Amino acid sequence: MTMSKWAQRINPAVQNIPPSGIRKFFDLVAEMKGVISLGVGEPDFVTPWHIREACIYSLEKGYTMYTSNWGLLELREAVAAELQNTYNVQYNPRNEILITVGVSEALDLAMRALLQPGDEVLIPEPSYVSYAPCTTLAGGKPVFLPTSLDNGFQISADQVRAAITPNTRVLLLCYPNNPTGAVMEREELARIAEVAVEHDLVVISDEIYDRLTYVGQHTCMSSLPGMQERTILLNGFSKAYAMTGWRVGYAAGNPDFIGAMTKIHQYSMLCTPITGQMAALEALKNGRAGMRRMVEHYNRRRHLVVQAFKDMGVPCFEPGGAFYAFPQVSVTGLSSEQFAEELLKQEQVALVPGNAFGKSGEGFVRVSYAASIDDLSEAFRRMARFVRRCGVRPRVISAPSQISAARQEGICQTL
């Protein structure tokens, strides 16, 4: 295929980024009616009213100007206090915390500040869609650490060690994980920390789902011995406070890292919009009770989801965090994309095929349980019907003969 004159002018680094695996589904869904979507990567709650009201008040009072490049000092102080209270890690709000336009920007800044051409970044897989492209755009090379159902989608210290080459500079961590819902056990995380120290790796830890941990306690990477100085901790307000569209996040780390990131931030973004920062401040000041209630809701739905897949006979690992379940739909004999596409066409339930989050997500789909109980129940009824048509017996884990039968028929649409 010949490229148009203008396409040739696009930087190959951008040109070569593969299109998002989610896009195709988005287009498909847009044409359909009566769809229940479990494909949404954000809370179903609207931002709590007191936060919205505080933002309106800030506008009334005329807070419409630039802030410091670093973000409002008051917000940085509140973030520092929050980190100290929750994980007992200390950051100086004056030079170790940067308020960013969501974790997305913070991730990009971290990559750009750290990477030189050819530097390798270790990234667990499956994982959020932007880690690899951000690495590539910053000139680095993503090296994936595949995880699987067998080990609860956790990476291991041995795995990290085995993937290290002379070019490895950064280890990216993303737990609780999107799309698997996996959390890391503290002991293994401590071993991974030792490997990072041993090989002098910088760790970028995206802990945006930290508050949505249902099993055990979340371990903040910076809180492990020797890790604070070599960790760039990323977090934000989107998930815990249902504030996705506000785009407020932060990075915390040593003054050199954060200073370098701020340099890029000041010349590209200048500062995070003040309106979002005012809202974030209110969330930290008065949002804890509301946040706990939301977490409680997610946890109840989590039980519903796990039980539903158990009843369907579809293997599903019990997610310990975030608001996703990651069932292994390959028992139907379908690939991730086939399953998602056929389920959408036949039963009008939308979810995201697992391979959109990396090769090792193949055979799985991501089911978001950030949806109302009524929607969840109806979606599971439809899904159970579909799975049964594909020859999976309820409450039987993988009966091989049935699977191969379904497989031979290819897509089991007219059963």
Partner 1 sequence: MNNVEKEVLELLENNARLTAEEIAVMLNADAAEIKRIIRELEDRKAILGYITLVNWEKVGEEKVSALIEVRITPQRDVGFDAVAERIYRFPEVRSMRLMSGTYDLAVFLEGRSMREISNFVSTKLATIEGVVSTTTHFVLKAYKQDGVIMEDGEEDRRLVISP
Annotate 160-219 with DSSP letters as a single string.
HHHH--TTEEEEEE--SPTTT-----HHHHHHHHHHHHHTT-EEEEE-TTTT-B-SS-PP
Q: How far is the CB of 223 from partner 1 (least distance, A)?
A: 28
Query: Residue 44 or 120: which CB sits closer to partner 1?
Result: 44
Query: Residue 80 or 242: which CB sits closer to partner 1?
Result: 242
Query: Residue 3 or 32: which CB sits closer to partner 1?
Result: 32
Query: Residue 258 or 356: which CB sits closer to partner 1?
Result: 356
Q: How far is the CB of 1 from partner 1 (least distance, A)?
A: 27
Q: How far is the CB of 272 from partner 1 (least distance, A)?
A: 21
List beta partners, residue 278: none
Query: Residue 87 or 175: which CB sits closer to partner 1?
Result: 175
Residue 33: other Cβ atoms inside 10 A: 5
Q: How far is the CB of 17 from partner 1 (least distance, A)?
A: 14
* Pick from 80, 133, 145: nearest CA to 104: 133
The DSSP H or E segment spanning 122 is strand 120-125
Q: How far is the CB of 394 from partner 1 (least distance, A)?
A: 15
Q: How far is the CB of 300 from partner 1 (least distance, A)?
A: 4
Q: How far is the CB of 149 from partner 1 (least distance, A)?
A: 21
Q: How far is the CB of 26 from partner 1 (least distance, A)?
A: 5
Q: How far is the CB of 303 from partner 1 (least distance, A)?
A: 5
322 vs 299: CA distance, rounded Å: 10
Residues that bind partner 1 (CB under 8 A): 20, 22, 25-26, 29-30, 35, 37, 39-42, 44, 46, 128-130, 178, 300-301, 303-304, 307, 350, 352, 356, 373, 377
Collapsed DSSP state (helix, strand, coil) of residue 283: helix
217 vs 186: CA distance, rounded Å: 9
Query: Residue 39 or 320: which CB sits closer to partner 1?
Result: 39
* Pick from 203, 212, 194: nearest CA to 156: 194
Query: Residue 42 or 337: which CB sits closer to partner 1?
Result: 42
Which is it for the CA torsion 259, 263, 265, 271, positive or negative? Answer: positive
Query: Residue 141 or 310: which CB sits closer to partner 1?
Result: 310
* Pick from 239, 382, 386: nearest CA to 324: 239
Kindly give the residue spans of alpha helices, DSSP state H, lying in 231-287: 255-268, 274-286
Collapsed DSSP state (helix, strand, coil) of residue 395: coil
Residue 163: other Cβ atoms inside 10 A: 17
Query: Residue 28 or 264: which CB sits closer to partner 1?
Result: 28
Cβ within 8 Å of residue 40, ≥6 positions away: 368, 370, 371
70 vs 93: CA distance, rounded Å: 9
